[in-house]
Amino acid sequence: MNARRHLVADLNDKLRKNLAMGKIEISLSHKVKNSEFRAEIIKAVRNFSSFDSEIDFNNDHSIGMVIVEQDAYLFRFNYLDDRYDYASEIGRRSLEICHSSEFNSVKLKKTITDKISASSI
């Protein structure tokens, strides 16, 4: 991992684990917000540490997937500047958490399905 990716990954990990640290906007999708397992989903995201290149393509810990009650939830950081206007990897972040069905990525569809199946075993 190059130095810049390592720095970004470290910042992402610190913010995800301690959601009150720094200024971060947390966005929960409709399905997460209304889930009876919302607290467990957020806890799983905070405790997540199994990043892999199948989902975290840039190896900067900006995206991951957790399984809660046999359902997959994805989280990802969006990078923002101090005014929340432009992309900036070192600036402020918005953490988005959504149910896998709300995350549109053809590239990840098979990976998500495989990981859900593997967790059921």
20-30 pLDDT, tens digit per residue, is 655 567 788 88
What's the whole-model pTM score? 0.77
Ramachandran quadrant class, 84 (left: phi over 0; alpha: psi -120 to 50; beta: rest): left
58-84 CB burial, b ≥16 within 10 A, e <16 = eebbbbbbbbbeebbbbbbbebbeeee
Name the burial class of residue 7, with classes exposed (0-12), middle (13-18) and buried (19+) by CB atoms within 10 angstroms of its CB: middle
User: Would you give the distance in Å from CA 21 to the centre of its chain?
Assistant: 16
Residue-level pLDDT at 107? 63
User: What's the pLDDT tens digit per position in 26-53?
Assistant: 788 888 989 999 999 999 999 999 998 8
Beta-carbon contacts of 85 under 8 Å, excluding residues fewer than 6 positions away, are none
Sort strands 71-80 and 92-99 into parallel, antiparallel or unpaired. antiparallel
The pLDDT tens digits for 109-120 are: 667 777 777 776
